[in-house]
Amino acid sequence: MPYVIVRSKYPPHKRNEVLKINREVFKKYPLESYPAKLVIPSAYRPTRNGVDSFVVWDVSNEEKLTEILHRIANAMRNYLDIEGFDYSMDIYASLNDARRMKELDVG
């Protein structure tokens, strides 16, 4: 089962804009509507360049991976008008998936 990690960065003076859009996004895309479990809802840290944050989704049904990626991308589009806001999505294998990949390794 893969994990989707969504990282975002924004300038500290844009915090209120980000929080306002957070509220709008969660109304439009309630957590229950996602085909994955939010295992880390939000983690933040200040940096010299602004605020760095991430969330982690556990996609227990691999067939839903494309759907969750589209859903996240649609939600994140709401933030793109905020000056200095940037985000990325990464997919990580779980430990069990990584072990299975190793077993399939023919090299």
| pLDDT value, residue 68 | 93
In sequence order, which ranges of the chain are alpha helices (DSSP H)?
A: 15-28, 65-76, 95-104
pTM of the model: 0.84
pLDDT above 70 coverage of the chain, percent: 90
List the CATH code of the domain at 3-104.
3.30.70.100
pLDDT tens sequence across 30-63:
888 888 999 999 999 999 889 999 999 999 888 8
Contact 38, 56 (CB under 8 A): yes
Of residues 90 and 95, more confidently modeled: 90
Query: Is pLDDT larger for residue 28 or for residue 98?
Result: 28
Domain boundaries, the chain: 3-104
